[in-house]
Amino acid sequence: MQKDAIHGVWKHHSAQWAQVGSPLRPTEEDTRIMLMLSAPAFSINEDISSVVVLGVTPEVVQLPWPLHTHVVAYDHSADMIASVWQPHFQNPSSVQQVRWQSMPLSDESVDLVIGDGCLSVLPCADDYRGVFAEVARVLKPPGRLVLRCFLRPEQSESIADVVTAVFSGKIGSFHTLKWRVAMAIKPDLEFSVAVADIHAAFESHFPDRQQLAFSTGWSREAINTIDAYKGTDVRYTFPTMSELKPLLLPFFDIVEVRHGSYELAERCHILSLKPRLHIP
């Protein structure tokens, strides 16, 4: 994948971040669940704790962490950092442009690693393994990895099903439509979808944006966020839970899986994971 292509898509995303909504961004319900699932990482540590955020999602960075907790966010995109990063309102915090597969941290030095939707920006299964191995390396044995994951249903729907749902009034937001289109495209063997194909599928099935806005009540600004996906060779990944588990289990045990009650929350699972004692 070319560096310019990666830079381009994230530059578009950073510029339109204020227009992005649920389920692409976490709701208050999501962040409550994420904070609750994070609690065991702090329960035995009375000294300074450390939190690593995968990405710069403000709703995650700004969670009410315990006092004496230092928060560091790692993101691969300079544009996202420049446009979206906000220091924590109370706790000491910092941000660095870093690949999650190679974090500048010592072994077993972090209490909690947390991320929202971050796995889906990884282009292939090998990247999942690389991130899981690196997080398992830096987490203290009692620590936790908490992730909100965008997962395809085990039985995929078709694009035709999505179109019918839109014009039957069964999809409540454009961002839900965007994710349902993305998950309806047939992925490759590593559950990967070309971002440009998401844009092309939308354009093919919804050629009249004004009509779509009129029929649904969605703003043109929200609908136009799809254009961040145009003309790039970036890929997103949407595994099913049965595809995700074999990638996780060499490194982590699944402690708990939950999800919210908002639209498409059943495809936005929040996982609490603890490192396995013996990493292969």
CA 16 to chain centre: 16
Residue 10 is which amino acid? Answer: W
pLDDT the model gives residue 44: 65
CA angle 157, 239, 133 (to 5 degrees): 175
- The type of residue at 100 is W
8 A C-beta contact, residue 38 and residue 114: yes
Q: Distance between CA 159 and CA 153 in Å, rounded?
A: 14
pLDDT of residue 22: 86
For CA atoms 175, 178, 182, 184, the dihedral sign is positive
pTM listed for this prediction: 0.91
* The predicted structure's pLDDT at residue 20: 75
First to last CA, the chain: 29
Q: Which pLDDT tens digit goes with each residue over 45-55? A: 567 899 999 99
List phi, psi (to 5°) of 12: -65, -45
Predicted confidence (pLDDT) per residue in 197-252, tens digit: 999 999 999 999 999 999 999 999 999 999 989 988 889 999 999 999 999 999 99
* Domain residue extents for the chain: 3-152+239-275, 159-235
What confidence score (pLDDT) does residue 236 get? 95
Q: What is the pLDDT of residue 18?
A: 67
Name every residue whose Cβ is closer than 8 Å to that of residue 203 and which is 6 or more positions away in sequence. Answer: none
In whole angstroms, give the CA distance from residue 67 to residue 60: 16
- Residues in the chain with pLDDT values less than 50: 1-11, 14, 279-280
Looking at this protein, which amino acid is placed at residue 31? T
Class of domain 3-152+239-275: alpha beta
